[in-house]
Amino acid sequence: MSRPGSSAGSPLRSPSKGSLQGSDLNLGLSRRMSHADSIATKQEAEWDEEDRNTLKGRIFFWWRSYSIEFRELIVYMCFLALYMAVSFGPSGTTMDRYELKAHLSSNIYPSFTDVGSAEGFYSWLSSELLPNLYGDEWSTRAPAASGKVAGHFAQDGVNRRVGTVRLRLVRVQDRAEDLPAVYADAVEHLYPDLLPSFGNLDTQPYVVGGYTGTLVWASGSELGNRGETLCSGTGASYPPSGYVVDLPEGLGNATRVVAELESDALIDLATRAVLVEFALYNANTDQFAVVALVCQFLATGLVAPEAKVSVAPLLSTYRVLTGDSASWTWTWLTFAEVGLYVLVILLIKKERLVYLAIGKEHYFEDGFAVLDLVNYFFFMVVMLLRANLMYNLWYLSDELAADDGERAAAAARGRERTLARAQWRARASASP
């Protein structure tokens, strides 16, 4: 029985030199395959007898015994299988994500969409959201604090708070100079809607007075926020920056701060949105819920609340890489993802050899070459983003285990740095 690719008439036989030359007359894709095979043929000629008998040499010549079309088909099938596994393998968590979002909407902030005024916002925050988030202080379902790690559980007993509960204000500048002359003496201020370019965003220190004092504006990078918050109901978009108030630990302390903010009239006519931001971790499904409850105060006077919730199994890949009791499903999905990235890197390396062999002018005559380069570019971007995510999650695991004292100290250091930056900006803008 002849070996596949031998001279016994196998349909998988490698093409001859004449067929390689003839393929140059075909489509650009076939021409690039022929050049790739020619490069491999040159590499084959460089192997001596001793190298051919090594394991690497035997694998190389066994693989080369098949035709280039068959080899390209196998590579493509492997690529497609890995890509489908990575893209659709995690879809089993979709139902868990939906159920977690539905649970938070009905049990953590059920009446948020009923908020219709600034007073109603303060009342909802003190009487509903904070008691539900700090449920470990009163709910019999929430585990009590024990040992180093405090409870930090919501009232349902299954979702644990990660970090602090944050209020972030987005304000606009006073445009009183744009008032019509006929109303210049009748209307004192003009606070329009936030421009899509954020050109009228207020970044000056906000003197609230009373208990609150002065709030300093912080950029998105200073707050660790990325991307804008888009509200589909109104079409408005809000930046990752703003004036921040981090609520302290303890239900009594948090509600006291909210009462002080209400007495100081934190939400004024210049306020266009107050975002209540917090994160929860569900150990049962190994998923994080990042919540932004956006209470919009539009220029028309309308109050439009909208909830933005993102649920993702952020720690799954990290647990596989660190050997932290990961499930079998996520283990093979992680290895499939790593295998996909390795295959892409090998394909990029092969594409580089083809480019060097046929030259720039002939290489870009093939439209498939340009398409491949675009695909490789996006794959490299995804790989860098995934590496950055793993880098950030390395510190997130420490945050999960931090106690109240460590978290409060870190928050205090962050506020001090933010205040120092704001003071430096004020001095720089005041200097001639």
136-163 pLDDT per residue, tens? 766 666 665 554 445 688 888 889 888 8
Give residues with Cβ within 8 angstroms of 269, minimum separation 6: 189, 191
Q: What distance in Å separates the CA atoms of residue 46 and residue 225, rounded to the nearest whole number? A: 54
Give residues with Cβ within 8 angstroms of 236, minimum separation 6: 193, 194, 230, 272, 273, 296, 298
Higher pLDDT, 19 or 357: 357
Taking a C-beta distance cutoff of 8 angstroms, is the pair 320, 330 a contact?
Answer: yes
Strand partners, 178: none
Residue 28, token pair as written in the block = 């650009």
Give residues with Cβ within 8 angstroms of 353, minimum separation 6: 36, 39
Position 56 scores a pLDDT of 73
Residues in the chain: 432
Owner of token pair 């390209």: 72
Position 425 scores a pLDDT of 57
pLDDT tens sequence across 367-395: 778 888 899 999 999 999 888 877 776 76
Higher pLDDT, 363 or 234: 234
Taking a C-beta distance cutoff of 8 angstroms, is the pair 6, 13 a contact?
Answer: yes
Question: Residue 127: pLDDT above 80?
Answer: yes
Position 243 scores a pLDDT of 96
Position 313 scores a pLDDT of 80
Position 150 scores a pLDDT of 54
Q: What distance in Å separates the CA atoms of residue 355 and residue 378, rounded to the nearest whole number? A: 19
Position 342 scores a pLDDT of 93
Read off the pLDDT band of 199 (50, 70, 90).
Answer: very high
Q: What distance in Å separates the CA atoms of residue 304 and residue 63, rounded to the nearest whole number? A: 63
Give the highest mean pLDDT range of 169-183, 270-284, 383-397: 270-284
- Section 229-257 average pLDDT: 93
Read off the pLDDT band of 239 (50, 70, 90).
Answer: very high
Q: Residues of 188-200 as b/e, b for ≥16 C-beta within 10 angstroms? A: eebbeebeeeeeb
- Section 116-135 average pLDDT: 94
Residue 256, token pair as written in the block = 């006291």
Task: Please calculate the CA angle 243-245-249 and round it to the nearest 5 degrees.
Answer: 165
Owner of token pair 């979002």: 101
Question: Residue 281: pLDDT above 70?
Answer: yes
- Section 158-172 average pLDDT: 92
Taking a C-beta distance cutoff of 8 angstroms, is the pair 292, 170 a contact?
Answer: no
Position 270 scores a pLDDT of 95
Taking a C-beta distance cutoff of 8 angstroms, is the pair 37, 17 a contact?
Answer: no
Read off the pLDDT band of 318 (50, 70, 90).
Answer: confident
Q: What distance in Å separates the CA atoms of residue 227 and residue 238, rounded to the nearest whole number? A: 9
Residue 414, token pair as written in the block = 């962050």
pTM across the whole model: 0.68
> What's the distance, CA 97 to chain centroid?
16
Residue 402, token pair as written in the block = 């931090």
Q: What distance in Å separates the CA atoms of residue 44 and residue 48, rounded to the nearest whole number? A: 9
Strand partners, 311: 289
Taking a C-beta distance cutoff of 8 angstroms, is the pair 129, 276 a contact?
Answer: yes
Question: Residue 10: pLDDT above 80?
Answer: no
Owner of token pair 């978009």: 237
Sequence-separated contacts (24+) of 386-394 with Cβ below 8 Å: 386/317, 386/337, 389/314, 390/317, 390/318, 390/321, 393/314, 393/315, 393/318, 394/318
Owner of token pair 């220190």: 205
Strand partners, 281: 160, 288
Out of 41-55, 157-171, 208-222, 278-292, pick the least confident. Answer: 41-55
Strand partners, 307: 293
Burial of 256 (0-12, 13-18, 19+ CB in 10 A): middle
